A and B are shown apart, each in its own frame.
Chain A
Amino acid sequence: MSSVTELLWTEKYRPRSLKDIINQQDITARLMKFVNEKNMPHLLFAGPPGTGKTTAAHALAHDLYGDAYQQFMLELNASDERGIDTIREKVKEFARSKTPPDIPFKIILLDEADNMTSDAQQALRRLMELYSASTRFILAANYPSKIIDAIQSRCAFFRFTSLKKEDVVNRLKYIADKEKIDYEEEALDIIFEISEGDMRKAINVLQASAYLGKVSSDLVFKVVGMARPKDVRDMIETALKGNFIEARELLRKVMIEYGLSGEDVVRQIHREIMGSDIKISEELRVLIADYLGEVHFRIAEGSDEDIQLSAFLAWLSMMGKKLGA
């Protein structure tokens, strides 16, 4: 890689081969066996975000098919595909495509499979049977309990656990040294704490911090703060003070400045009300979450986001006045 190329470090330092994956050793050992036997069942990778599920799937394909493995692997993300029909079309087309020279199957990686409805999963199960002669599915999910039994029973199950502190910190150190950046040891600990074992998030925080200067604990905190639109918190607090009109101006500012969609804003609000930066009673957090969920559902159903969020802010101002008064 030449010195004038700069990539996101999560891309640059993604392990390419199973042997490069330093943690989750019991998992990689089992996967390597499949590589040696040149055969595998359908797989279900379950575990929290940033623990290496997608990486392991790619590494497995890499080790099976070599560097040009991408042509024998179809990657789909259930959160982004527009329903089971588009998935079916893509799978159908892919199943017809060229087969690898000495391995009898191709791989379909379906990421975030737990975001599929159970009806869609039923259809998926039929797809898995229909094309089982020429393809193997790897399903990745945060919550395996959301995957229907009929699919679970057809897959070999792999549970990815949250990364240990030393694994994350060592990896961060490795990257920091490669990138020749200045850092304080303590800052890496902080990054681990903040990212809650999510390697991807940890690396993003490291990279953003490094761009701003010497990676110190203070800097890390600042970067994480900056990465969260502060206006969302201001908006909630302003509304809770009973100031609806000002809160709605903030809402529109956030949407303009960050180009957030209604659903984006709902997610940010959710994060804030369950976070520690906002000082409200625990009971109120639950009430807000309940109402917010309704708002989220309505927006997802296709109703007008500006109107739904306005109603939410009006509700917040009312609650704020009632509880404050």
Chain B
Amino acid sequence: MKIPWIIKYRPKKVDDVINQEEAKSQILTWLHSWLEGRRPEKKALLLYGPPGVGKTSLVEAIVKEYDLELLELNASDYRRTQDIRKTVAIASQKRPLFKRMTLILMDEVDGLSPRGDIGGIDELIKIIPNTINPIILTANDPWKDQLRPLRELVSMVEFKSLTLNQTISVLQNICNKEKIECEREALKFIAERSMGDLRGAINDLESVAEGYGKVTYNIVSLVIKGRDKSIDLWRTLNGVFYAKEAWQAKRSVTNSEEDYETLMAWFNDNVPLKYGDYEDLFRALDSLSRASLFLRRAKSGNWDMLSYVFDLIGPGITFSRKNGELLKNRFSYPERIKIMAQLKGLRESRDRIAGILAKRLHTSQRFVKSDLMQYIIVMLRYGNIEKAAMLSRAYGFNEDDLKYLTGNRYKDIQKEIELLKEGRSVEEKEVSKVRSVEEKEKRHVSLETFGAKPTNKEESKKKYRKSK
């Protein structure tokens, strides 16, 4: 099983966490007084700072280094009053077992929604003053109104954004360990886009390396459009796949700042990696296909329909999984986004070709595309090369269109077209006489290699040189 890099390269020791020296000393001082049996005045810490700078990682490193018991609750767990009472309240009163102290970590308290986590914050306010175990909270934005009463009870610990060079050197380090070819320019691009969010940067790095095998500037600049700072795609995917209730799944989707099409492309490619049971898979993709339909309806002006798009992407996918377990596969970049540009060019060619032929043959473009085009492709890719060249010329296809129609044979046909142009003025008849003899041989060849590949390119090239 592959481990996501953000887990694999998570800091193991407190020293591994970079750039947060002040935060470290503040936390460790506070922790030492707990360990020495002097309960500090403020029984809880609120670590705050942008996402992906190491808040949770540092806490986990501390737990390991000081051999503590960790009780962790994060965004996808239940955090309503009764859930908190059941877990946090009990843990806060738990006596140390074999001298191991329990550290309670509640991630993303600014994400406690007033709607879903009814009373969650009130409950925390009751627990904190009386806890006999240390509590650490984290938040991206600690200044939210709903957190005001909480702020008075805790010590605030600030985490700083990572600098560009720090981010780059972490990425470079991972590239070395994974033995993956990485251009420095590419890493710089990723780092800049991440704006100090190391987790985001590592996710980007991994997904590019995974999808393309190497990390070059060209790929990266094409694939990574700019990372969403609040909840990135991977978090959205995780949020949906691991949600326990409908509102959680839906919130993961609505919180994402990616456009809907990108989001759906991600789900379309990643659901099959996560859902192994064929009924689960169908239910999920069916739900997604209906989301796409509702999006279409929304975009035609009926914006009320947008809400159903979120329902069908989020909970629709989460609760499609009834039979199977979540597979351990890692997420991948959607194939779709990679091939889009390529596909666009091809389709433009098809449209232009269909336009030309429909006019000349007095038929619809649709007919050309669904029927005739295939025969033309057979003629140009596998047929007699001279005729193919003549035909190509007669309809004035441009370079791209000809490339599409002739496939591997493009260069040969192009050469033949040049020959035709010269041949017309000079000794046209002689040339064609020589060719017609060769024609018979060539037909022979093309019949034998039929269906497998276009006729032997090298051989026909030689023949042309001779005939010239």
Contact = CB atoms under 8 A, between A and B. Distances in A.
Contacts of A3: 432
Interface string A5-29: 1111011001000000000000000
Given A310-B268, A314-B282, A212 B360 contact: no
A226 to B, nearest CB: 5
Interface stretch (B105-113, B238-246, B338-346): B338-346
Contact of B289 (A244, A252, A259, A307): A307
Interface string A269-311: 0000000000000000000000000000010011110111011
Given A211-B387, A211-B388, A318-B278, A307 B264 contact: yes
Interface string B1-33: 000000000000000000000000000000000
B306 to A, nearest CB: 14
A311 B451 contact: no
Contacts of B336: 252, 306
A245 interface: yes
B347 A261 contact: yes
Nearest to A203: B375
Given A6-B390, A211-B387, A222-B451, A311 B285 contact: yes
Given A306-B336, A310-B268, A314-B282, A229 B374 contact: yes
Q: Main secondary structure on chain A at its contact with chain B?
A: helix
A231 interface: no
Contacts of A252: 335-336, 339
Given A264-B369, A307-B292, A321 B339 contact: no
Given A245-B272, A303-B289, A321-B278, A211 B379 contact: yes
Contacts of A11: 360-361
B383 A306 contact: no
A79 B364 contact: yes
A318 B281 contact: yes
Ranked 9 nearest A-B pairs via Cβ: A211-B383, A259-B346, A6-B390, A311-B289, A227-B374, A79-B364, A303-B292, A314-B282, A314-B285
Interface of B: 261, 264-265, 268, 272, 278-279, 281-282, 284-286, 288-289, 292-293, 295-296, 299-300, 335-336, 339, 342-343, 346-347, 349-350, 357-358, 360-367, 369-372, 374-379, 382-384, 387-388, 390-391, 393-394, 404, 420, 423-424, 428, 432, 443-444, 446-447, 450-451
Given A207-B375, A248-B272, 5 more contacts: A79-B367, A212-B447, A213-B447, A244-B278, A317-B278
Interface of A: 3-8, 10-11, 14, 49, 54-55, 58, 75, 77, 79-80, 111-112, 200-201, 204-205, 207-208, 211-214, 219, 222-223, 226-229, 242, 244-245, 248, 252, 255-256, 258-259, 261, 264, 267, 298, 301-304, 306-308, 310-311, 314-315, 317-318, 321
